[in-house]
Structure 1
Amino acid sequence: MSEKQQLINTGRYLMSNQLAWGTSGNISARIGSNQMIITASGTYMANLGEEDFVECQIDKGEIEGKRKASKETPMHLGIYRQRKDAQAILHSSPFYTTLFACSNEPILSELFVETMYYLEDIAYVDYYHPGSQELADAVTEQAPHANIIIMRNHGVVVFDDSVSEAQMRLETLEMACRMILKAKESGVQLQLIPEKTIKSFLEDSFYKPRKKVSSKFLI
């Protein structure tokens, strides 16, 4: 399946599962060592077609074709430049994740199997206007340190070594935020997994190869 078709399928999935809404958000994939495709400006992720993507050179940021690329293209370029392991980037504003992005509530990774794995590394950046160079610079600075970057009062950007893994990372994040909020609402006390057990799970359980941020991924 081509990278475009994977992103088309992901756009539909994000919309149908309330992981994105309206025309907010943008998604991209690396298609070569120095090329990426990203959704064009104003596209609706539920109805993406082959023509709704713009090709862009990663090193110089040069756009190919007549369509206007997403205004968040500089943010995507910054991540790809910093992380040679990043093959797909998803930016959206899911309800529960965005609620946490608008608060000081911590996002816990010590809850269940998927959170231990997918939420191990989370970074935060302050609010900057969408599409601004300031936002791109802040995200780029944090890209070497995390696989999830929460943008205060805005949303989130996640990246991984495949489109499907990036989608799972985003879905796990939204699930965790929803669980934490629902527990607070109902007075349920969440029992966290001990740090020793988490370390054992990540290093010894063979659930999946650990994707802890490492200098080996940096360009």
Structure 2
Amino acid sequence: MNKPHLKEILSSLALSMFRKDFFGIYHGSLSAKTETNRFLINTNEAVFDALHENSLIELYYKKDYRWNQASIDAGIHYSIYSQISEAKFICFSMPQFTTAYSLQHNVITPKDYFGFKEIGSIEIVDPKQFEDWYDRAASEIAYYFQSQKTNIMVIRGYGVYAYNRDIHEMAKKLAVLEKSCRLLMLDSQVSNYDYE
């Protein structure tokens, strides 16, 4: 695996997703599996519109001092990589329309062509209480992916986890999902306006 090239790809995707408001200044995570027991992930100090050499850290599955510098989401990424062999890239983002839509709905059913064809209906998972979410997230997210046989998970009021073998496919699905949620929200506003 060409790690410098992989870092360039992650940096480019992070900038693109930051510009589309999928990531906040320090909010989100992006990783790539480098070997059977290692992965690259952003550090806890990473700024997504300017990922550079020091913004990414390679972690071994066995925890060591480097885990202290890694994203708060590193344990979740580890859990997915260690349990799902097809996961080569993982992303946690908080796209604003998808996250906002998740607050009031239980399912996302796109009405647009690309949403319908690319993602279909997606269940919105309720994390219940947020107080202990990070204690539960690593096991619950990996379990959801395996039990539901999906590679995208929308979590109410929290954001979206996705994984894929291909980083571009993962980014495309996230973009289509966000556009579909935006269209659903606009459609709802227009429908409400029509009745007034």
Query: TM exceeds 0.5?
Result: yes
1:158-189 Cα shifts (integer Å, max 9, x gaps): 1111211111111111011001111111129x
Deviation at residue 135 of structure 1 after TM alignment: 1.6
Matching residue of 1:27: 30
Give 1:164's aligned residue. Answer: 168
CA shift for structure 1 position 151:
1.7
1:99 has 2:103 as partner? no
**Which secondary structure does the structure 2 equivalent of 1:22 belong to?**
coil
Aligned letter for 1:38? I
- TM-score, reference length from structure 2: 0.84
The 3 A distance-change label for structure 1 pair 187 and 37 is same
Structure 2: any 5+ residue segments left out of the alignment?
A: none
Q: Which amino acid aligns with 1:104?
A: H
In structure 2, the residue matched to 1:71 is 72
Preserved contact between residue 59 and residue 66 of structure 2 (Cα < 8 Å): no
How far 1:126 sits from its partner (Å)? 1.0
In the alignment, does 2:18 pair up with 1:12?
A: no
CA contact (8 A) 1:72 1:130 kept: no
Q: 2:143 aligns with which of 138, 141, 144?
A: 141
CA 1:36–1:130: 2 relative to 1, 3 Å = farther
122 and 116 in structure 1: CA distance in 2 versus 1, 3 angstrom threshold: farther
1:55-108: CA deviations, max 9, x gaps?
1123x3x24748611111111111112211111111111110110222225211
Work out whether residues 25 and 92 of structure 1, in 8 Å CA contact, stay in contact via their aligned partners in 2. yes
CA distance, structure 1, for counterparts of residue 110 and residue 68 of structure 2: 39
1:111 and 1:171 map into 2 onto residues whose CA distance is: 13
What is the one-letter code of the residue matched to 1:182?
A: L
Match of 1:41 in 2: 44
SS at match of 2:105: coil
| Number of residue-to-residue matches in the alignment | 186
Q: Partner amino acid for 2:9? A: Q
**Residue type matched to 1:25 in 2?**
G
Give the distance between the partners of 1:131 and 1:52, measured in 2 at CA. Answer: 25
Counting aligned pairs with the same residue, the percent is: 19
SS at match of 2:54: helix
Q: What stretches of structure 1 move > 3 A for 4+ residues in a row?
A: 63-67, 118-123, 127-131
The DSSP-based 3-state class of the residue aligned with 2:107 is: coil
The C-alpha deviation readout for 1:11-56, integer Å capped at 9, x for no partner, is 1000112222221111101111221111000311001101111211
Q: Which has the higher helix share?
A: 2
